[in-house]
């Protein structure tokens, strides 16, 4: 009788939740999925805010809107890349910048796909989402729409930027901090 119950029980499925660590392949798929969602959300948020600034707020015609004492929306056509470098003053220059930034975005996407660490994948997702938002602007408008103007009196710690620029900067800083911490961690292990 006990033997029959054991055989009958062998066909049932254990419905208790899996409590152990996820297998490496599942962890990697989950990390990739979350990172791609983060990149997509950064891209959508960047484009949505640019749309609001450009159309309902008509910032191009108003030039500047004070939000608080230290932050304005200020319309800037950024025809270059970060910090106004590599300014594209012609159609050929514009498309060369599109190609350059698209190449960088492809490199970041491939790196993100191969990356196994969740924190690095998230940082790369910020970079990718921001880069894609700026590439779409450059293709669609011929320039990147910048609008966020942080200032303290006349002092501006940053050039006028957008959400895509901020996401790229945050992503790169996270990668740099992690690389520095990892390097220091290796050095401490070698000393011990």
CA nearest to 86, candidates 16, 23, 138, 141:
138
Q: What stretch of H or E contains 97?
A: helix 91-114
In the chain, what percentage of residues exceed pLDDT 90?
61
In the chain, what percentage of residues exceed pLDDT 70?
79
> DSSP per residue over 26-80, as a string?
HHHHHHHHHHHHHHHHHHHHHHHHHHHHHTTS-HHHH-EEEEETTEEEEEEEE-S
Q: What is the pLDDT of residues 59-101, one digit of tens each?
A: 999 999 999 999 999 999 988 765 555 666 778 888 988 999 9
Residue 192 confidence (pLDDT) above 50? no
Q: What is the pLDDT of residues 96-144, one digit of tens each?
A: 889 999 999 999 999 999 998 999 999 999 999 999 999 999 999 999 9
- Confidence class for position 46, pLDDT limits 50, 70, 90: very high
Q: Which residue has the tokens 């911490």?
A: 181
Q: What is the mean pLDDT of the chain?
A: 85
| Residues acting as catalytic residues | 146, 165
How far CA 149 is from CA of 38, 120, 189, in Å, comes to 25, 29, 44
């Amino acid at each position: 009788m006990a033997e029959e119950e054991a055989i009958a029980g062998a066909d049932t499925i254990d419905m208790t939740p899996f409590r152990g660590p996820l297998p490496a392949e599942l962890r990697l798929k989950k990390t990739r999925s979350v990172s791609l969602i983060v990149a997509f959300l950064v891209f959508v948020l960047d484009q949505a805010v640019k749309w609001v600034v450009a159309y309902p707020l008509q910032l191009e015609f108003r030039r500047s809107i004070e939000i608080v004492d230290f932050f304005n929306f200020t319309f800037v056509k950024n025809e270059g890349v970060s910090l106004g470098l590599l300014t594209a003053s012609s159609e050929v220059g514009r498309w060369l910048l599109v190609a350059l930034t698209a190449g960088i975005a492809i490199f970041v996407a491939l790196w993100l796909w191969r990356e196994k660490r969740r924190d690095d994948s998230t940082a790369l997702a910020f970079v990718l989402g921001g880069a894609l938002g700026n590439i779409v602007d450059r293709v669609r408008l011929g320039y990147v729409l910048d609008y966020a103007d942080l200032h303290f009196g006349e002092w501006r710690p940053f050039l006028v930027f957008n959400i895509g620029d901020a996401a790229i900067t945050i992503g790169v800083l996270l990668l740099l901090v992690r690389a520095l911490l990892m390097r220091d961690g290796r050095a401490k292990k070698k000393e011990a």
